């Protein structure tokens, strides 16, 4: 009699780390939604000259100040009669680039600090972590305002300030990961073979600390985008007529009380762009956290 066939190695699909990650990430609907939204923003930024129907800076028409959405201007016009859709499309270039640059700075510096503190330990760890604690003691946006005030106003200094205030979070995450792996058997094997500290860190410690670093850097990107927009809103970042989302908000508010009467769309649509970008990055970060941590997988 024929019984149930036993599965052979050829019929069993080999499970790989990438396959598990992909299945867990794609199983998170919010993470997929965030990825799609962020992909749209990236495409907007890359192909802004092709997608924007009008010039975001020169296309002024004061006779149509705060004109509402229409067929010619789907999102309406701002305080100078410029097309809001075109400015949002071009603003994706500046807002996303500024956020990515700030996170790149924070990731590089934070990784160096975290690896040094976690691997060296002792007094080096204490000194570096106390410096990070001092930075964490201040509200991030307040510290960023102070840094921009010292360095001078401008988008470059704003993203540098945002990068500095996010260094402690990256450093603490990397330090915790390094401490958890520095005494593992494969690290001890590298030491027994006479490998230098630099080689041990580069070949054994950092590769096994990248998962939490990727998650933290992704979540930090959402904070960076919001902080850069906040500094521009306060007049400390991008300046007019630069089509940056936070600067678009402050330009609309500076036009006077009329923005609340006839120009609500001039503040609603840039605000939606900021909110969607921040939410999408947070969703992606949560998805990466669940997919990279086996304990969180279902």
Tokens of 84: 């809001």
Q: For residues 203 and 200, what is the distance between their CA atoms, to the nearest angstrom?
A: 5
Task: Give the model's pLDDT for residue 295.
Answer: 57
Nearest 10 degrees: Cα torsion 54, 59, 64, 68 = 30
Cβ atoms < 10 Å from Cβ of 289: 19
Cβ atoms < 10 Å from Cβ of 202: 13
Q: For residues 194 and 192, what is the distance between their CA atoms, to the nearest angstrom?
A: 5
Q: For residues 207 and 220, what is the distance between their CA atoms, to the nearest angstrom?
A: 20
Tokens of 184: 């593992």
Task: Give the model's pLDDT for residue 273.
Answer: 93
Backbone angles phi, psi at 28, to 5 degrees: -95, 105
pLDDT along the chain (298 residues), means of 10: 49 60 83 93 92 86 84 88 91 90 93 88 88 89 90 88 93 88 75 75 78 87 90 84 86 74 84 93 88 62
Q: Report if pTM > 0.95.
A: no
Q: For residues 143 and 294, what is the distance between their CA atoms, to the nearest angstrom?
A: 36
Task: Give the model's pLDDT for residue 20.
Answer: 74
Q: For residues 205 and 21, what is the distance between their CA atoms, to the nearest angstrom?
A: 21
Domains of the chain: 21-46+75-296 (1.10.3720.10)
99 CB-side CA count, 13 A: 29
Task: Give the model's pLDDT for residue 1.
Answer: 47
Task: Give the model's pLDDT for residue 296.
Answer: 54
Q: For residues 82 and 108, what is the distance between their CA atoms, to the nearest angstrom?
A: 39
Task: Give the model's pLDDT for residue 160.
Answer: 92
């Amino acid at each position: 009699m024929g019984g149930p066939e036993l599965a052979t190695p050829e019929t069993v699909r080999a499970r790989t780390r990438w396959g598990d990650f992909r299945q867990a990430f794609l199983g998170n609907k919010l993470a997929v939604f965030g990825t799609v939204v962020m992909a749209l923003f990236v495409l907007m930024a890359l192909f802004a000259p092709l997608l924007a129907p009008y010039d975001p800076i020169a296309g002024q028409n004061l006779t149509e100040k705060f004109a509402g959405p229409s067929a010619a201007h789907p999102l309406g016009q701002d305080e100078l009669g410029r097309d809001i859709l075109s400015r949002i499309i071009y603003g994706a270039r500046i807002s996303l680039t500024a956020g990515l640059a700030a996170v790149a700075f924070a990731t590089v510096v934070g990784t160096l600090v975290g690896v040094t503190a976690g691997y060296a330990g002792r007094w080096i760890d204490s000194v570096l972590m106390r410096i990070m604690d001092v930075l964490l003691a201040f509200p991030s946006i307040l510290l960023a305002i102070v840094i921009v005030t010292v360095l001078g106003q401008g988008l470059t200094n704003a993203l540098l300030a945002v990068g500095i205030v996010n260094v402690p979070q990256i450093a603490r995450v990397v330090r915790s990961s390094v401490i958890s792996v520095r005494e593992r058997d494969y690290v001890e094997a590298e030491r027994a073979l006479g490998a230098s500290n630099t080689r041990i860190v580069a070949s054994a410690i950092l590769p096994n600390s990248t998962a939490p670093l990727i998650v933290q850097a992704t979540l930090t990107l959402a904070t960076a985008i919001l902080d850069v927009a906040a500094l521009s809103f306060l007049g400390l970042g991008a300046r007019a007529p630069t089509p940056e989302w936070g600067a678009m908000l402050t330009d609309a508010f500076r036009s006077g009380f009329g923005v609340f009467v006839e120009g609500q769309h001039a503040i609603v649509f840039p605000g939606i762009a900021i909110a969607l970008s921040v939410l999408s990055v947070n969703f992606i970060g949560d998805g990466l956290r669940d997919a990279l941590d086996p304990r969180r997988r279902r």
